[in-house]
Chains A and B, each alone.
Chain A
Amino acid sequence: MTVPDFSELAQYLVSALSLGGLYALMALGLVIVYGILRLVNFAYGELVMVGGYGLLLFGDTPLPWIIVAILSIIAAVIAALLMERVAFRPVRNSSATTLLITSFAVSNLLQNIALLAISPRPRAPRLPDIFVKNVTVAGVQFKIVDLIALLVSLIALGALTVFLRRTVIGLALRAAADDFTMTRLLGIRANMVIAAAFAVSGFMAGIVAIFWVGSSGQTWPTVGLQPVLIAFIASVVGGMATLKGAVLGGYVLGFLTMGLQTWLPQGVNAYRDAVMFGIVILVLLIRPDGLIRPSYSRESR
C-alpha cells in the first residue's frame, strides 16, 4: 500500500468525519429511546423513510428547499410521537422481547403502507445541486454535501448537548436514562419524558433522512433499513447505555467504513457487513456494555 498523500488524507478525514457525524446522529436517535425504555426501536428506520417521503411530498410544492427540509424533519418528529402513542405506550411495561417485536411489527407496517400507498419503486425527490457539486479548498477537492453534513451533525450534537444540559426536559431525560423508576418517583411524568425521547429520535431521523436520501438521490419503502442497521452497530459498539457511547460508536464506525472503503481491496469489501456484524457479536460477548460503560451499574441485564 502506498503512503496516502496529503489530499487523499484530507479527503478521507472530511468524508469520515461527515459520515461519522451522520452515523452518530443515527445511533443517538436509537439510544435516546433505548436508554429510557430498553427498547431497540427497529421502526426508527421508518422514521428515516417518513423523512425521505417528506422530501418527496413537500418537494413537489414551490417552497424553497430549506423549508422543505424543515417540514420533512417535522414530519419525522410527528411520526415518532404517533408511533410512541399508538404502538409503544400500551406495551411499555412488557418484556424487552415484546417491545422489540412490537417495533418490528411497526416497522413492517409502515414499510408496507409506503409500498401500498406510494410505490414499491424508488422515487427521486427534488434536491438542490449542493448534493452533487464539489468544492476545492486549498487545492483539495471535497463534496459540498460532506462539508455540510459535517457541520450539521456537529451543530445537531451541540444543540442536543445544550438541550440535555440546560433545559428541564433535558435534565429529566438524562435522569430517566439513568434510573427511570427513581425519576418517576421524583414526580417527573413518564409520558412526557418518553414522548420527548421519541421526539428527539424523530428529529435525528429527519436530519439523517435528508443526507441519506440526498446522497443516493432516491427514496423507497425500505430506505430506512441500512440506517437502522448502522445505528444499531454503532450503538452496540459504542455502548447502548450512554449517549456518549452512541456518538463515539458513530464516529468509530464512520472512520472504519471510510477506511475499509478507501483502502481495502474490492473482493474483501464485499464481506464488510458480515465482518461488522461479527464485530457486534464479539462486542456483545466480550464487552456487553460497549466502549463506554455506564457510570454505575444499573439493574442486571
Chain B
Amino acid sequence: MTTSRATTGEVARRLSTPIILLAGLLALTLLAAVRDDIVFERVITVMLINLVLVVGLQIFMGNSGLGSFGQYAFVTIGAYGSIWFSLTPQQKRVALPDMPRDWWLYEQHLPFWPSVLVGALIATVVGALIGIALVRLRGAAFMIATFAFLIVVNRVALQWSEVTRGSRTVIGIPKYTGLWTAFICAALAVVLAYAFKESSIGLKLRASREDEDAAASLGVDAPRIRWVAWVISVFFSGVGGALWAHFIQQFSPHNFYLAETFLIVSMLIIGGTGSVSGAVIGTVAVALASEQLRQIENWLNTQRTEGTWFGDLLPFQFVGFTEIVLAVAIILVLIIRPSGITGGRELSWPRRWSRRRQAMPSPADAPVKPS
C-alpha cells in the first residue's frame, strides 16, 4: 500500500529485514548442526520452537498494542490436538489410556506434518471463536480475559482425561521435531509476521493501535482487524505447541501454564514488542543468556556438592537462579528501556547506504502530493 511510492532503495531496505533475521537464525542453526554438542543443539531447537510462539505473539501484541496472556491456552490445544492424530491407535493405548476405544478419534492416524497442521487448526478454530468476543475488549480487560481463558483451558485439560490423560504426563510420543523442522517453522513465522506487519491490514491495525478513533474515522474496522491478527497469532501458538509436543515427547497441562507464559512474554518485551526483529532478538538473547546462567548455576551447585573451598562459601543450593536473573532483567528493561532492546524498530540495511546511491529522500520525508 505504501510501497507504491517507494524507491528501489527503500524496497531493498525493507526486504533486508527478513533476510538479515533469517540469515542470523540460519547461522545459529548451522552452528548447532555442525557442532557435535547435543546440549547446544537442544538449546537451539527449543529456542526456535519458542521463536514460533514469540513471533506469533508479536503478530498480535505488536500490531494491536494489546497484551495477551492467553497464548499458552492455544499451545495446550495445539500440543494435544496434534498428538491425537500423530499417534497410532497402539501408541494411544499407552499415551492416552483413558480415551475410549470406540471413539472416532482413537482410530485416526496421520503423518507428522498433517498432524501439526490439524492440531494448529483446532487451536485456531477455538481461538477464532473466543476471539469474536475478546476483540471487543481493550486494555487491562483484554489481558484479564485472555489470562482467564488460559486458566479455563488449563483446568479443562487437567480434568478431561479422555483426551489429555488429566494431570498425569502423556508419555511415549515419537520424536518428530528436530533442529531443521523447528528452523523451517520459525523461518516461516518470521517471514509471515513481517509480511503481515507491512501489509495494508497490518498498517491499519498499527494505526488503530495509535489512535482507534482516528483510525475508525478513516474507515478502519479495528475489532475486525484485531480479530484477523488474533487468529494468525493463535495459529502459530498451535503450531508451536504441536512442535513442542513432538520434541519433548512427554508433557502434561502443567507444562503449559504461568511460568511458560511469563517466559515468552519476557522474550518479546525484552526484545521489543513493536517489531519482528524485537521478537527474534529477544528470543535469541533470552535463550542464550538462560543457557549460560543455567551452566553457571550447575557449576555453582557442583562446587557445593564436591565441597571445594569456594563451594563451602555458598549458603544454599542454587535453584531458580536463572528465573531470578530473567525477572530482574525484564524489570530493568521495562524501567530503563520500556520499548525493548530494538525500541520497536526493525533491523535493516542502514538507511545511509541506500541513500548515498539513490541521493533521494525516503518516501517518509517526501511531501505528500495528491494523486
A interface residue numbers (CB < 8 A to B): 38, 40, 87, 90-91, 94-98, 100-102, 104-106, 108-109, 111-113, 115-117, 120, 225, 229, 232, 236, 270-271, 273-274, 277-278, 280-281, 284-285, 288, 301
Contacts and interface: CB of A to CB of B under 8 A. Distances in A.
A219 B319 CA distance: 18
Give the interface SS of chain B, mostly helix, strand, loop or mixed.
Answer: helix
A274 B327 contact: no
Contacts of B151: 229, 273-274, 277
B67 A101 contact: yes
A45 B13 CA distance: 47
Interface stretch (B120-128, B138-146, B225-233): B138-146
A215 to B, nearest CB: 22
A117 B149 CA distance: 33
B218 interface: no
Contact of A102 (B149, B159, B326, B334): B334
B155 interface: yes
Interface in B322-336: 323-324, 326-328, 330-331, 334-335
B266 interface: yes
A97 B155 contact: no
A47 to B, nearest CB: 16
Given A94-B338, A105-B327, A288 B143 contact: no
Contacts of B262: 104-105, 108
A112 B320 contact: yes
A100 B103 CA distance: 43
6 contacts: A97-B66, A101-B265, A102-B330, A109-B331, A112-B324, A274-B156
Contacts of A273: 151, 155
Given A91-B334, A115-B320, A273-B151, A284 B145 contact: yes
Given A281-B149, A288-B137, 12 more contacts: A91-B334, A91-B338, A98-B334, A104-B265, A108-B326, A116-B324, A277-B155, A280-B145, A280-B148, A284-B148, A285-B133, A285-B137
B148 A281 contact: yes
A274 B137 contact: no
Contacts of A100: 67, 140, 143
A105 B133 contact: no
Interface string B294-333: 0000000000000000000000101111011011101100
B224 interface: no
A39 to B, nearest CB: 9
B129 to A, nearest CB: 12
Interface of B: 65-67, 133, 136-141, 143-145, 148-149, 151-152, 155-156, 159, 258-259, 262, 265-266, 269, 316, 318-321, 323-324, 326-328, 330-331, 334-335, 338
Contacts of A90: 335
A104 B335 CA distance: 14
B67 A288 contact: no
A150 B130 CA distance: 39
Given A90-B335, A113-B324, A284-B137, A271 B266 contact: no
B327 A112 contact: yes
A111 B319 CA distance: 11
Contacts of B266: 105
B133 A301 contact: no
Contacts of B258: 225
Contacts of A115: 319-320
A105 B133 CA distance: 28
Nearest to A96: B140
Contacts, number: 117
Given A90-B335, A94-B338, A284-B141, A274 B269 contact: no
Contact of B152 (A40, A95, A281): A281
Contacts of B331: 87, 102, 105-106, 109
A95 B142 CA distance: 13
A97 B143 contact: yes
Contacts of B139: 96-97, 301
Contacts of B140: 38, 40, 96, 100, 301
Nearest to A112: B320
A225 B327 CA distance: 17
Nearest to B259: A108
Contacts of B143: 40, 96-97, 100
B66 to A, nearest CB: 7
A76 B360 CA distance: 62
A120 B319 contact: yes
Contacts of B259: 108
Contacts of A101: 67, 265, 269, 330, 334
Contacts of A274: 151-152, 155-156, 159
Contacts of A225: 258
Contacts of A40: 140, 143-144
Contacts of B138: 301
A271 B145 contact: no
Contacts of B330: 101-102, 105
A285 B148 CA distance: 12
A112 B152 CA distance: 25
B291 to A, nearest CB: 17
Given A90-B335, A109-B324, A116-B319, A236 B155 contact: no
A100 B265 CA distance: 11
Nearest to A229: B151
A101 to B, nearest CB: 6
Nearest to B137: A284
A98 B321 CA distance: 24
Contacts of A284: 137, 141, 144-145, 148
A96 B338 CA distance: 12
Contact of A91 (B141, B155, B335): B335
B136 A285 contact: yes
Contacts of B318: 116
Contact of A236 (B65, B144, B159, B327): B144
A166 B265 CA distance: 43
Contact of B316 (A97, A102, A117, A229): A117
Contacts of A120: 319
